[in-house]
C-alpha cells in the first residue's frame, strides 16, 4: 500500500525566503503526483500536477520536481510572501487497485512572517 510522508509538519519562515517542501512516497510505480494548497476552512486547490514521465512543472513562483525512482518530490517556493501561508499537500496516484486513488500526505503547514 502506498504511503506518502511530508516532513516537517509545520514550517515558519520570514517573508522573502526561498523554501523547499519535501514529499516522499513508498511505491515508485506512480502515474502522477500532485501538489495542493489548502487554506483554513477551505477546500483544496491544485497547484501543480507532474506526470510520471515528467521531472518538473513550473507555475509562477512555484516549481515542483519529481524523482520517481527515489520516491521523492519537492515543491520550491521562490520569494515567499505572507499570502503563501497555507497547508501544502502532496498526493500520488498509482495505476491499479487502491493505489489508483489519490494517496495524500498529511501536509505541511507553512507560515510566512511579514
Partner 1 sequence: GAGVSQSPSNKVTEKGKDVELRCDPISGHTALYWYRQSLGQGLEFLIYFQGNSAPDKSGLPSDRFSAERTGGSVSTLTIQRTQQEDSAVYLCASSRGLAGLQETQYFGPGTRLLVL
Site of interaction with partner 1 (CB under 8 A): 4, 31-32, 34, 36, 41-46, 49, 51, 89, 91, 93, 95, 98, 100-107
* Closest separation in Å from C-beta 105 to partner 1: 6
DSSP string for residues in 8-51: -SEEEEETT--EEEEEEES---EEEEEEEEE-TTS-EEEEEEEE
Question: Is the CB of 34 or the CB of 73 nearer to partner 1?
Answer: 34
End-to-end CA distance of the chain: 41
**Shortest approach of partner 1 to residue 79 CB, angstroms?**
26
Distance CA 72, CA 33 (A): 10
Q: Please state the closest distance from residue 114 (CB atom) to partner 1, in A.
A: 26
Nearer to partner 1, 71 or 105 (CB): 105
In order of 27, 41, 86, 91, 92, the CA distances from 44 in angstroms are 24, 10, 10, 11, 15
Element (H, E) at 2: none
Identity of the residue, 1 or 83, whose beta carbon is nearer to partner 1 in the bound complex: 1
Nearer to partner 1 by Cβ, of 14 and 97: the residue is 97
Least Å distance between CB 40 and partner 1? 11
Amino acid at each position: 500500500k502506498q504511503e506518502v510522508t511530508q516532513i516537517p509538519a509545520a514550517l515558519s519562515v520570514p517573508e522573502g525566503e526561498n523554501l523547499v517542501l519535501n514529499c516522499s512516497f513508498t511505491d515508485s510505480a506512480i502515474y502522477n503526483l500532485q501538489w495542493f494548497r489548502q487554506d483554513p476552512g477551505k477546500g483544496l486547490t491544485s497547484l501543480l500536477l507532474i506526470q510520471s514521465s515528467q521531472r518538473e512543472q513550473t507555475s509562477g513562483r512555484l516549481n515542483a520536481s519529481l524523482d520517481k525512482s527515489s520516491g521523492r518530490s519537492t515543491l520550491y517556493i521562490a520569494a515567499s510572501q505572507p499570502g503563501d501561508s497555507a497547508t501544502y499537500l502532496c498526493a500520488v496516484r498509482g495505476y491499479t487497485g487502491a493505489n489508483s486513488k489519490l494517496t495524500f500526505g498529511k501536509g505541511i503547514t507553512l507560515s510566512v512572517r511579514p
